[in-house]
């Protein structure tokens, strides 16, 4: 009887092990089936993607072949070319970047652009080509337009070969820095279209033109360039101050043009350089004028007074006070002697109020 019980227990244990093995095998089979199904789906997805990509490539090649035929036959236009590549960019955005289609577009567009801009003078006709270049901007420009890739982008290369040479030729042959308006109009018209590398190259040429100008008695033409060239002109501020100084040696305070030439530079030069310029070339001559100025209630001539007062907003306050101290010393002395001579006080009051009106706050 014990032996029978032992055999039954052994059979049961073996059966249980068989069941566990079958269960493990079943689970493994199921996991394998699931993995195979996922692999199948993955391969089907890849196959679908590859087929779609192949179809895209075939369509792109078909369009490029047609463009090539039109180019060879001479029937290709910038308008039709732009429409074709805009369509490719819209339908196959990823492939457009992957296949570098912007470079292919540029190679076809460049000869047509050269033809459009042939003989163009940007100073005479600044808006010429703006519309067509605007159309091509997104077709030739990379997404990362703020990085170094901008320098090598097809759009930048196109403008460097088509637009910049015309600007350089006009800037060298006809443009003068003292007549900034034509170049400023061009830059304003193209402001949204010039990538940074092209704009900086143009501004470098403009800066070179400004440096090359000979000293003259009037150089207000530099000032309109400050918003665009600010930092580029910093290295020539010393030269500018020297040129200003060279024409101020012979300047007389009766010549108001010096104020109109100099005053815009007050906000450009640093305060110390500006004060040094005033102290060296302007204030001594104004001091001499104020010392010569005569106050005479009977026959007052205000010319010299106005020569000095004209500089009130340009000269640092403490230096202006020095000039006005000379005036007030003379003015008080005249008033003192007048009041001691039994005057007509209505005339004194009128004289006093007249001077009060002339003095700035």
Assign 218 a pLDDT band (cuts: 50, 70, 90): very low
Same structural domain, 161 and 272? no
**Helical segments of the chain, H only:** 2-73, 78-91, 93-98, 101-117, 130-140, 149-152, 154-173, 181-189, 196-212, 226-234, 237-248, 257-262, 271-277, 283-292, 303-309, 317-339, 345-358
Residue 145 lies in a domain: no
Q: Based on the structure, what is the number of domains in the chain?
A: 2
Same structural domain, 166 and 249? no
DSSP state letters, 3-15: HHHHHHHHHHHHH
In tens, the pLDDT along 79-131 reads 999 999 999 999 998 888 888 899 999 999 999 999 999 999 999 999 999 99
Among the residue ranges 12-16, 257-261, 280-284, 307-311, the one predicted with the least confidence is 12-16
3-state DSSP assignment of residue 54:
helix
Residue 86 lies in a domain: yes
In tens, the pLDDT along 333-354 reads 999 999 999 989 999 999 999 9
Residue 293 lies in a domain: yes
Residue 53 lies in a domain: no
Same structural domain, 160 and 257? no
Same structural domain, 259 and 351? yes
Q: Taking the mean position of all CA atoms in its chain, how far away is CA 91?
A: 33
Same structural domain, 346 and 260? yes
Residue 330 lies in a domain: yes
Token pair of 189, please?
């018209």
Q: Which residues have CB under 8 Å from 268's CB, separation 6+?
A: 223, 226, 237
Residue 231 lies in a domain: no
In tens, the pLDDT along 17-27 reads 778 887 788 88
DSSP state letters, 104-143: HHHHHHHHHHHHHHTT--TTT-TTTTHHHHHHHHHHH--S
Same structural domain, 266 and 157? no
Structural domain containing residue 321: 245-361
Residue 85 lies in a domain: yes
Same structural domain, 251 and 360? yes
Residue 17 lies in a domain: no
- Burial of 260 per CB tally in 10 Å (0-12, 13-18, 19+): exposed
Q: For 135-164, b where at least 16 C-beta lie within 10 A, e where not — what string? A: ebeebbbbeeeeeeebeebbbbbbbeebbb
Closest by CA to 190, choosing from 222, 159, 214, 169, is: 159
């Amino acid at each position: 009887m014990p032996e029978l019980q032992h055999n039954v227990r052994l059979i049961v244990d073996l059966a249980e092990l068989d069941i566990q093995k079958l269960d493990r095998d079943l689970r493994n089979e199921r996991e394998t089936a699931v993995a195979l199904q996922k692999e199948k789906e993955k391969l089907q997805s890849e196959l679908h993607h590859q087929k779609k990509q192949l179809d895209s490539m075939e369509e792109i090649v078909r369009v490029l072949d047609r463009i090539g035929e039109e180019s060879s036959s001479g029937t290709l236009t910038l308008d039709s070319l732009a429409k074709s590549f805009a369509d490719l960019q819209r339908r196959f955005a990823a492939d457009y970047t992957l296949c570098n289609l912007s470079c292919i577009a540029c190679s076809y567009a460049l000869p047509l652009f050269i033809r459009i801009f042939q003989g163009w003078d940007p100073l005479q006709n600044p808006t010429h080509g703006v519309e067509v270049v605007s159309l091509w901007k997104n077709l030739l420009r990379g997404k990362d337009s703020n990085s170094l890739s901008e320098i090598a982008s097809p759009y930048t290369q196109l403008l460097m070969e088509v637009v910049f040479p015309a600007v350089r030729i006009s800037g060298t042959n006809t443009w003068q820095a003292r007549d900034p308006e034509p170049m400023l109009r061009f830059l304003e018209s193209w402001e949204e279209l010039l990538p940074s590398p092209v704009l900086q190259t143009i501004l470098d040429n403009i800066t070179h033109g400004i440096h090359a100008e000979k000293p003259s008695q009037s150089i207000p033409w530099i000032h309109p360039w400050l918003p665009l060239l600010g930092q580029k002109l910093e290295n020539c501020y010393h030269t500018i101050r020297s040129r200003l100084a060279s024409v101020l040696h012979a300047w007389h305070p009766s010549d108001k043009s010096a104020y109109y030439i100099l005053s815009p530079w007050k906000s450009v030069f640093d305060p110390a350089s500006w004060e040094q310029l005033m102290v060296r070339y302007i204030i001594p001559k104004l001091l001499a004028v104020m010392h010569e100025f005569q106050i005479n209630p009977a026959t007052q001539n205000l010319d010299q007074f106005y020569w000095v007062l004209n500089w009130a907003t340009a000269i640092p306050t403490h230096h202006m006070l020095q000039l006005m101290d000379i005036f007030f010393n003379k003015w008080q002395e005249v008033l003192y002697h007048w009041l001691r001579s039994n005057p007509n006080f209505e005339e004194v009051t009128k004289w006093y109020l007249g001077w009060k009106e002339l003095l700035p706050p």
